[in-house]
Amino acid sequence: MEILVASAIGIMTAAGLYLVLRLRTFPVILGMSLLTYAVNVFLFASGRLTTAAPPVLRDDMSVYTDPLPQALVLTAIVISFGMTAVVVMIGLGAFLGSNDDHVDDQPEGAQDQAEGQS
């Protein structure tokens, strides 16, 4: 099971990094979302993997999984939504303002080229 989680983290990181290095804003945003998943799972897994032992106190239970990484990841998920929204807004604003969704600064006059592609 450990290798499944670890490899999932690795694959999501790899795909995330690849997409972050793309040239247009939309794939970069997707890549960052993937990286967010990877990081959240990574942090969560630092509490080690335990099945069927949620950290909700019960009289008949004695073993619980580590609750602290869960609490930290929970807020991280919500915050990352806020950050994604900001990045999307910036990307969208840039596109609407210049009709160009390149991530890198473009040489002068390159905007017109981008106009035809949609």
Partner 1 sequence: MSLFFIVALPFFGALLPGLMNPAGRSACGGVTFTVSLAAFVGLLTNLPSVLAGEVVKVQVNWLPSLGLNFSLMLDGLGFFFAFLILGIGLLIIAYARHYLSRDDNMGEFFTYLLLFQGAMVGIVLSDNILLLLVFWELTSLSSFLLIGYWKHLPEGRQGARMALTVTGMGGLSMIAGMLLLGQIVGSYDLSVILSSRELIQADPRYLPALILILLGCFTKSAQFPFHFWLPHAMAAPTPVSAYLHSATMVKAGIFLMARMWPVLSGTPEWFAIVTTAGLITMVLGAVIALFKHDLKALLAFSTVSHLGLITMLLGTGTAFGALAAMFHILNHATFKAALFMSAGIIDHETHTRDIRRLGGLRRLMPITFAIATLAALSMAGIPLLNGFLSKEMMLEEAHHTVLFQSHWLVPALATLGSLFSAAYCFRLISHTFLGPVRDDYPSKPHDPGLGLWMPPSILVILVVVIGLAPFLAEPFVKLVTASVLGDTAEVPKAHFKIWHGLTPALYMSIIATVGGLLVLAAFKPLLKAWDAAPRPEAKVIFEAVIQIAVSTARGLILPLHNGAFTRYAAIGSVVMIAVGAYAWQTGTVGAPTRTVQAAGAVPIAGWAMLVAATVALMFLHRNRLFSLMLIGIVGLMVSIGFIFFSAPDLAMTQFTVEVVTIILLLLALNFLPKQTPVESTVLRRVRDAGVGIAGGLATFMLSYHYLLRDSVATPISEFHLANSYKGGGGTNVVNVILVDFRGFDTYGEIIVLGIAALLIYALTETLLNGPVRARLLNREPDLPQAGDTHPMMMVVLTRVMMPLVLLVGFYIFLRGHNEPGGGFIAGLIVSIAVVMQYMASGFAWTSARLKYPYHGVIGAGVLIAGFTGMGAWFFSKPFLTSDFTYVRIPPFQKFELATAALFDLGVFLAVVGAVMLSLESFSRLARRANMPDSEYPMDIDPSRTDPPPDKAGSMTQEGV
Give, as ranges, the residues between 11 and 50 that touch partner 1 (CB under 8 A): 11-27, 29-30, 33-34, 37-38, 40-42, 44-50
> The dihedral of CA 33, 38, 68, 56: what is its sign?
positive
What residues from 54 to 113 belong to the interface with partner 1 (CB under 8 A)?
54-58, 64-68, 70-71, 73-75, 77-86, 88-93, 95-97, 99, 101, 103-105
- Closer residue to partner 1 in complex, CB, 112/118: 118
Site for partner 1 (CB under 8 A): which residue of 60, 108, 109, 117? 117
- Closer residue to partner 1 in complex, CB, 19/109: 19
- Total number of residues that touch partner 1 (CB under 8 A): 87
Q: Minimum distance from CB of 109 to partner 1 (Å)?
A: 15
Alpha-carbon gap, residue 35 to 32, rounded angstroms = 5
Alpha-carbon gap, residue 35 to 47, rounded angstroms = 19
Cβ pair 30, 19 in contact under 8 A: yes
> The dihedral of CA 17, 33, 70, 82: what is its sign?
positive
